[in-house]
Amino acid sequence: MTTTTPQERPLPRSYFPEEKKLGMSQNAIYLCESGAADTAGDEEASWAWLALAEHTEQAKSTLKRMCGDEFLKSKGFQI
């Protein structure tokens, strides 16, 4: 069985305007895309963008505590 990293998967639908991405880090773009997808009501894209972002250990711990490992794995998080 082969596994793919989040970066090897096709990108989710984009909701964040290209012109606003100029000068932003890749991680910041992923987080903004997640928020924009959430605002647009696309929960799947929101989680997919969030799974692509790098998170601090504290953020990872909070996500695990609030959502659970299995849920996060199902959304594409590498935990």
pLDDT values of the chain reduced to their tens digit, one per residue, 79 residues: 444 455 577 999 999 999 999 999 999 999 999 999 999 999 999 999 999 999 999 999 999 999 999 999 999 998 7
pLDDT at 5: 53
pLDDT at 7: 56
Is residue 41 included in any domain, yes or no?
Answer: yes
Name the DSSP class of 18: H
Is residue 11 included in any domain, yes or no?
Answer: no
Is residue 3 included in any domain, yes or no?
Answer: no
Is residue 8 included in any domain, yes or no?
Answer: no
Is residue 4 included in any domain, yes or no?
Answer: no
Is residue 15 included in any domain, yes or no?
Answer: no
pLDDT at 9: 74
Is residue 7 included in any domain, yes or no?
Answer: no
pLDDT at 4: 46
pTM: 0.86
Query: How many domains are there within the chain?
Result: 1
Rounded CA separation 34/54 (Å) = 13
- CB of 66 within 8 A of CB of 34? no
What residues make up the domain containing 41?
A: 24-79
Is residue 9 included in any domain, yes or no?
Answer: no
Which two three-digit tokens encode residue 67?
Answer: 């959502």
